[in-house]
Structure 1
Amino acid sequence: MVQRECKGPLQTLERLILASKSPRRRDLLSGLGLKFDVIPSEEKEPPFQEGQLPQEYALHVAKLKARNIAKNYKDSWVLGADTIVVVDGDVLGKPKDREQALSMLTRLTGRMHTVYTGCWIVGPYTSGGYEEGFVVGSNVWLSNLSRDILESYVLTGEPMDKAGSYAVQGLGSFMVERIEGSYTNVVGLPLTELVGTLLKLEIVGPRK
């Protein structure tokens, strides 16, 4: 269990748990000034089913992650999240090896794809329980790059734990031509929508 806290415009009013091991999500939340616990979910992600809408899949996985932690921390608010990359209706997850990472990047380069992040919040069971979720989509265009450049990027190792095999906030930023929609959504958490929900539920508030 790791607690994160820094100065920012917001403060946490209720105990909040982030059910994710993603350092990018941790940084986004802590950058707001929030104090929270990090307890990664061990829930196994189900395979994407044919005919399933990608955004429904992302929300479903986020729900599984949040519920997996909430059942053991019934006095806390739990946030689960899942980010996927979608192109031609196919969901691209994290690559299994360098060859698959290069294959994904080759498919994405020079064109547009969509990044969906599903967020699911579970409230304290001791107060009757509460659940709410939402999905945000952003369109991303990668520049048209040669195979040599893509191979060099794969060799950095950065793509290996990233959906779609690139990090918009990392070394992979040089590939991103433009984004239509939320940037933080592509990183891993749509902060505008998430903060609005956390404020509505009075989990967070302005720092005084």
Structure 2
Amino acid sequence: MTLPAFSSSDPWLYLASQSPRRRQLLDQLGVRHELLLPDPDEDAESLEAERPGESPEDYVQRVTLAKWQAAVARRARRAASGTWPEAPILCADTTVALGSEILGKPQDATHAAQMLSKLSGQSHKVLTAVVVNGHLRLSVSHVRWRVLDDDEISRYVASGEPMGKAGAYAIQGRSGAWTQHMDGSYSGIMGLPLFDTAELLKPLGWHF
């Protein structure tokens, strides 16, 4: 990997996330970033395993910190064998909670349909934690959907949009038509709360 030739006065960071939505949101803020993705032999998915009795708030914060720690170690390994200069590392994780039940990424189409059926006509929380250089902020939003019928759920699952998304949906996609009310951070529901991210970056030299 060849890093861009930013001038020494230009702040930039590593984004340890494969989410194109997080890249889009950082671009919206004008934050220059480079990806710091897991190595092929890293078991990144294991970091998202739930623990018995863990609340959604505790879960998303623990997972985000674990991902950040893994990214710090990853950059250090790569720096020892190539040109990976020091820079702030940003990690984020999003989960959907229906009461105390954590709804992560669907395992397959059937699982996605089950999640969407649970959320139909219900209010739920979307929690996104952001970590930069060990400092964490948690964004909590509330979303209420109208009742969905089986055909709507089947069509949405068939579109492929639910896969890889916490709670099996993307608010910026087709599911926006189901959202009767939301309270909180729209960008946080997408996967990166811009207010909290900016607050974490200001002390590191960014100006918004």
TM class, shorter-chain normalised? 0.7 to 0.9
Q: Which residue in the other structure is 2:117 paired with? A: 106
The residue aligned with 2:127 is: 116
Q: Distance in 1 between matches of 2:2 and 2:57?
A: 30
Could you list the per-position Cα deviations for residues 159-193 of structure 1 after superposition, in whole angstroms to 9, with x for gaps in the alignment? 01111111101122112221111111100011111
Q: 1:146 and 1:170 mapped to 2: Cα distance?
A: 18
Hey, what's the Cα distance between the residues in 2 that align with 1:39 and 1:190?
A: 20
Change (3 A) 1:165 1:3: farther
For the structure 1 residues 166 and 68, does the alpha-carbon distance in structure 2 shift closer, same or farther, using more than 3 Å as the test?
A: same
Larger proportion of strand: 1
Which ranges of structure 2 fall in alignment gaps of 5 or more residues? 77-85
Structure with greater helix share of residues = 2
The code of the aligned residue for 1:114 comes to: K
Equivalent pair of 1:70/1:76 in contact (CA under 8 Å): no
Give the Cα–Cα distance (whole angstroms) in 1 for the partners of residues 10 and 112 of structure 2: 41
Residue number in structure 2 paired with 1:23: 20
- The answer on 1:165 being equivalent to 2:176 is no
Report the residue type matching 1:86 in the other structure.
A
Structure 1 residues 155, 181: closer, same or farther in 2, change over 3 A? Answer: same
2:58 is aligned, of 51, 56, 59, to 56
Where does 1:60-139 land on structure 2 (aligned, <5 Å)? 60-73=62-75, 75-122=86-133, 131-139=134-142
Higher mean displacement: 61-70 or 157-166: 61-70
TM-score, structure 2 length as denominator? 0.85
Alignment of 1:140 onto 2:151:
no
Q: CA deviation at 1:71?
A: 2.1
- Residue 8 (structure 1) aligns with: none
CA distance in structure 1 between the aligned counterparts of 2:55 and 2:159, rounded to whole angstroms: 33
3-state DSSP of counterpart to 1:133: strand
Paired with 1:2 and 1:63, the residues of 2 have a C-alpha distance of 27
Query: What TM-score does the superposition give when structure 1 sets the normalisation length?
Result: 0.85
* CA distance in 1: counterparts of 2:139 and 2:116, whole angstroms: 22
Query: Is residue 13–residue 205 contact of structure 1 (8 Å, CA) maintained in 2?
Result: no
What amino acid is aligned across from residue 103 of structure 1 in structure 2?
Q
Does the 8 Å contact 1:109/1:142 carry over to 2? Answer: yes
Question: Is 1:182 paired with 2:185?
Answer: yes
Instruction: Tell me the alpha carbon deviations over residues 115-167 of structure 1, each in whole angstroms, 9 at most, x when there is no partner.
Output: 00111112xxxxxxxx2112110001111111111111111011011111111
Q: Secondary structure at the match of 2:52?
A: coil
> Deviation of residue 14 (structure 1)?
2.9
Structure 1's unaligned 5+ residue stretches are: 5-11, 123-130
Identical-pair percentage: 33
Question: What is the RMSD computed on CA atoms of the aligned residues?
Answer: 1.9
Residue 31 (structure 2) aligns with: 34
Aligned counterparts of 1:37 and 1:164: Cα–Cα separation in 2: 27
Give the distance between the partners of 1:82 and 1:185, measured in 2 at CA.
Answer: 10
